Amino acid sequence: MPFRTRYTGLIDKYRDRLPVHDDTRIISLGEGNTPLIRLNNIPRVLGKDVDIYVKYEGLNPTGSFKDRGMTMAVTKAVEEGSKAIICASTGNTSAAAAAYAARAGITAFVLIPDGKIALGKLAQAMMHGATVIQIKGNFDKGMQLVKEVATEAPVTIVNSINPYRLQGQKTAAFEIVEELGRAPDFHCIPVGNAGNITAHWIGYCEYSSASGDHVTGACSFCHGQCKYAGGAVVGNRPKMVGYQASGSAPFMRGKMVDDPDTLATAIRIGHPQSWDMAWKVKEESGGWFDECSDDEILAAQKLLAEKEGVFCEPASATSLAGAMRDITSGTIPEGSTIVCTLTGHGLKDPDIAIKQSTPVQAVDATLEEVKKAILANME
Ligand code: F0G
């Protein structure tokens, strides 16, 4: 008989480190367990001796890291008797909320910003049967409205202010440590609302703590949800480096940004909900924040697709864009092991991908024309 190896999602896998009971009904689509891909060609392009891995979160069931948090948030919402969930979203959260609500048989309401949402994400929310409400305002306004609505209507917020979201998302750090056999030296990650950078830090701290590293103080991130609430730790943890798009970079400005703008619509956020926690992550980990221009972000997205065969959405490429700059300048030294989180799949935003690619060649349907087109492009 073959050995049974069916993967049944991250709650099943990390059940002992997540706030679930033996009889909790788990709402899962098999999320997590995403590939950690070692880049072969980009370090050569940079001319630096570094190990860069990308954690390809775009291969989650709805195409982004949001599924990790959503399996937890929806599982708990259902356990607590909720019949409806709500979120504000730049797109990916709404896609995940819609899918997991469909799986659970409950209702999803999603508030999305006017116009600035990638087509793939909108298609997902609509297809899964969510009630999609487009507001004449940006994500930050949507977030404010969601918080207000939730005080008056029986709906559970599933944005990352829901502590279960971060609990699910922390498992990405577990997977990385398990695969590398240690934490990386640097973990580079795009920052919007700053939930994911916080969740990764919780994950690294817990893993380190569970491995018996030195405990230095109370865990200040998890709102008592984690099973290692006894202490945060020093030891086998990376420096956390958060990159923002220049037009939406409140962590660089040191204050909220009222009119954020970037082509990387997923991180078009001026009022991050996890503001205080993200500053703490930076300090505790000895990391930093930096910003990337839209041009740098798109160039990194293209380079990754062309040189490594990995297609991520623009916001995701912010981690690699920033890491490449910091590797080139030596801020991230040679000899380092670096993990860049690629938060969402490139197919989420086909418009941007097509716009920045060489146009398709239209030729007559004859052997001669096709041969001509091939020969003209032979290296
Ligand atoms: N990358 C992608 C592809 C995202 O969709 C998001 C956030 C982030 C990065 C930033 O993560 O907010 O935890 O710092 N998207 C949210 C959404 C806001 O509504 O889908 P963060």
Q: Which atom of ligand 1 is nearest to the CA of 198?
A: 13
Nearest 5°: CA angle at 298, between 243 and 118?
Answer: 90
Beta strands in 126-238 (DSSP E): 131-135, 156-157, 186-190, 215-217, 232-233
Q: How far is the CA of 226 from the centre of ligand 1 (A)?
A: 22
The secondary structure of 1-30 as a DSSP string is: -PPP-----HHHHTGGGSS--TTPPP--SS
Helix axes 171-180, 195-210, angle to 10 degrees: 50
Determine which residue's CA is closest to atom 6 belonging to ligand 1: 266
Amino acid at 250: P
Q: Which atom of ligand 1 is nearest to the CA of 194?
A: 14
Q: How far is the CA of 303 from the centre of ligand 1 (A)?
A: 21
How many other β-carbons are positioned within 10 Å of the β-carbon of residue 239?
A: 19
CB 105 within 8 A of CB 332: no
pLDDT at 204: 95
Beta strands in the chain (DSSP E): 36-38, 51-56, 84-88, 107-113, 131-135, 156-157, 186-190, 215-217, 232-233, 239-245, 288-292, 337-342
| 158 Cβ closer than 6 Å to some ligand 1 atom | no
CB 72 within 8 A of CB 164: yes
Report the run of H or E that residue 279 belongs to, with start and end.
helix 275-285
DSSP 131: E
| Residue partners of 358: CB distance under 8 A and separation at least 6 | none
| 20 Cβ closer than 6 Å to some ligand 1 atom | no
- pLDDT tens, the chain, 379 aa long: 677 789 999 999 999 999 999 999 999 999 999 999 999 999 999 999 999 999 999 999 999 999 999 999 999 999 999 999 999 999 999 999 999 999 999 999 999 999 889 999 999 999 999 999 999 999 999 999 999 999 999 999 999 999 999 999 999 999 999 999 999 999 999 999 999 999 999 999 998 776 654 444 445 555 555 544 444 443 589 999 999 999 999 999 999 999 999 999 999 999 999 999 999 999 999 999 999 999 999 999 999 999 999 999 999 999 999 999 999 999 999 999 999 999 999 999 999 999 999 999 999 999 999 999 999 988 7
CB 208 within 8 A of CB 360: no
| 240 Cβ closer than 6 Å to some ligand 1 atom | no
pLDDT at 221: 58
Ligand 1, pocket-test mutation among 320, 343, 347, most atoms within 8 A of CB: 343
| 267 Cβ closer than 6 Å to some ligand 1 atom | yes
